[in-house]
A and B are shown apart, each in its own frame.
Chain A
Amino acid sequence: NAGVTQTPKFRVLKTGQSMTLLCAQDMNHEYMYWYRQDPGMGLRLIHYSVGEGTTAKGEVPDGYNVSRLKKQNFLLGLESAAPSQTSVYFCASSPHWGEITEAFFGQGTRLTVV
């Protein structure tokens, strides 16, 4: 059972380039999340999805777009990368029983924008 898988694990982008981070989960979870983690800032929620075909903004959505075309996949896109988007990105998924319970995390994607 793979759990939550993120690809790629590392990436270096030039300012202005675009890329898509892929998150895949095999636990049939309804809810999926994208977070970024910066030193001293903890995890900040970028976007989240409560089901296939739905997405919503989190705390820091600017500069990012997401899509949830299939229940098992949640894509995070950067249309025009900026150095401020250098961070470690984590995807997570969670079952939902009227409230958010345990979230399962991927191993992270370390993105550097130069």
Chain B
Amino acid sequence: SQQGEEDPQALSIQEGENATMNCSYKTSINNLQWYRQNSGRGLVHLILIRSNEREKHSGRLRVTLDTSKKSSSLLITASRAADTASYFCATGGAQKLVFGQGTRLTINP
């Protein structure tokens, strides 16, 4: 079974609002990563947070990690129409990168 599970599966918000996606995982990790996939394209790496970190920022992205709850969240602030995509969390171990099922985010103009 897959390591990560994203919640919600789909999210639709208005442009300018903040979007929050959550990821839960099952086993211990070295790091947790978030990726973005535009329709019909490959995945693109957004941000990586290590197991000893609690929060990380990159531009309009904010990621938190709670290893005690085995969960992470991705916040996109001041959303734009171009943020419409699917977002995946992935847990990085020593050899494998295992993905969750993704959250489909739609930003309405």
CA distance A113 to B104 in the complex (A): 27
A102: chain B residues at CB < 8 Å are 33, 45, 48
- Most chain B C-beta atoms within 10 Å of own C-beta, residue among A43, A92, A108: A43
CA distance A44 to B100 in the complex (A): 9
A105/B30 in contact, CB under 8 A: no
* Other-chain residue from B35, B96, B101 in contact with A48 (beta carbon distance below 8 A): B96
Total A-B pairs, Cβ < 8 A: 73
A62: chain B residues at CB < 8 Å are none
CA distance A108 to B40 in the complex (A): 8
A42/B88 in contact, CB under 8 A: yes
CA distance A108 to B41 in the complex (A): 7
* Other-chain residue from B2, B41, B95, B102 in contact with A100 (beta carbon distance below 8 A): B95
Interface string of A1-45 (1 = CB under 8 A from B): 000100000000000000000000000000101010000111111
Interface size class of B (residues with CB under 8 A): 20 to 34
B97/A42 in contact, CB under 8 A: no
Q: Does B44 contact A (CB under 8 A)?
A: yes
Q: Does A69 contact B (CB under 8 A)?
A: no
CA distance A106 to B43 in the complex (A): 8
CA distance A32 to B102 in the complex (A): 21
B94/A42 in contact, CB under 8 A: no
Interface string of A75-114 (1 = CB under 8 A from B): 0000000000000001010100011111111111000000
Q: Chain A interface (Cβ within 8 Å of chain B)?
A: 4, 31, 33, 35, 40-45, 48, 50, 56, 58-59, 90, 92, 94, 98-108
Q: Chain B interface (Cβ within 8 Å of chain A)?
A: 1-2, 30-31, 33, 35, 40-45, 48, 88, 90, 92-102
